[in-house]
Amino acid sequence: MKVIVLGAGVIGTATAYYLAKAGHEVTVIERQQGAALETSFANAGEVSPGYSAPWAGPGVPLKAIKWLMMEHSPLAIRPTFDLNTWRWVMQMLMNCTSSRYEVNKGRMLRMAEYSRDVLQQLRADTGISYDERTQGTLQLFRNQAQLEGADADIAILNRYGVKYEKLDKAGCLKVEPALAKVQEKFVGALRLPGDETGDCFKFTQNLAKLAEGLGVKFRYGVSIQRLVYSGDQVSSVITSEGELKADSFVLALGSYSPILLRELGIRIPVYPIKGYSITVPITDASAAPESTVMDETYKVAITRLGDRIRVGGTAEITGYNLELRADRRATLEYSVSDLFPAGGDVSKAEFWTGLRPMTPDGTPVVGPTPYRNLFLNTGHGTLGWTMACGSGQFVADIVSGKRPAISTEGLFMSRYGSVNRPIIVPKELA
């Protein structure tokens, strides 16, 4: 088939690659001048299935109030009168129960674990490089309450067979020796040895080249205006360079997906949660992290990417605003300087922001829609890099009429419903 993929972030590019591998004629439409120039450009660098968990969980509303009163808060809420914002917040709060958390985390782990396996196979098949490391994630706890609170997550990790290690201070220093200089600042950690790290931008750029080698055409600098449909099918997409027709369409526009879908009568609760990062040049490799350290107090990920440290985190509810805020940078600088004071030069850091496409339950929206030839691959939140290869292969299988390698339960948009019609599930999956 002729397939058009809308969006060339890591999700859209991975989808295009696996569609091409399946034998389809693929065109990717992207408004930027290259792949991975928006949300995929400078994210935290984690490929972290073990750390996959919804933001909505028991106790989160109370934690959020406490966070807002912290000097270096992981959360910021900018006043807005947008109804979609408050609708999304209410839906998230409805998922802040133990039962919903367990269901949602299980769905996320299923996709994330699968995606890591698909990424490893891709690396073996192609030799793709992207400053990758396979040394796990260290979820670092600064106080005893955080350490004890990890038991609930451990129970779920056990249920799904995810490897982990609960470490004391000595155990932390074995995997992250540079923390020896600040060991009075933490009590222990949960280590997830199956997690990986890597530069998402480098990965996506290199994957785009591999996709081009399979015949994928990338049309950069082309903006998407609307989808044209008749009955239960999409016939074309109207762009800044005219109308483009295809047999099938995959929408992978991240936070901007709901805007295009609204004109089709489809409403999905994907909301842009703003995140920030700084990229710090390493000045002393022995004083820098070996892999990823997740500072649980400030919800900041500190990741080694080659000769740089990527520090990513914070959540800001402010719509589609892309302003760089100095207070957000201060939080990132504080976390990395507090734990790795001699690792890098924060005065020379590059500051960046991007919009994470978040769903209220944390699970992405992948698969069919009420239009039989329109498919979604969006809503991955902070885990787009983690889930990219798996969700790309997953959607490519569905478009190709194949049953995916993992269960589709809870991944389709049917868990939310649509405005005026049910989704059309391919007969192979019904």
Annotated binding site for FAD: which residue ranges?
A: 3-17
Residue 58's alpha-carbon distances to 92, 94, 96, in angstroms, are 11, 10, 5
Residue 382's alpha-carbon distances to 41, 116, 185, in angstroms, are 13, 15, 26
**Residue 394 tokens, joined:** 């997953």
**CA atoms of 249 and 375, how far apart (whole Å):** 6
Pairing status of strand 308-317 against strand 271-281: antiparallel
Q: How many helices (H) and strands (E) does the chain have?
A: 11, 20
Residue 43's alpha-carbon distances to 35, 128, 142, 201, in angstroms, are 14, 19, 24, 8
Residue where the block lists tokens 């209410």: 90
Q: Are 279 and 354 in contact (CB under 8 A)?
A: no
Q: Are 312 and 385 in contact (CB under 8 A)?
A: no
**CA atoms of 55 and 74, how far apart (whole Å):** 12
Of 188, 247, 213, which is closest to residue 374 (Cα–Cα)? Answer: 247
Q: Are 290 and 177 in contact (CB under 8 A)?
A: yes
User: Beta-carbon neighbour count of residue 105 at 10 Å?
Assistant: 24
**CA atoms of 424 and 430, how far apart (whole Å):** 9
Annotated binding site: which residue ranges?
A: 3-17
Q: Are 30 and 220 in contact (CB under 8 A)?
A: yes
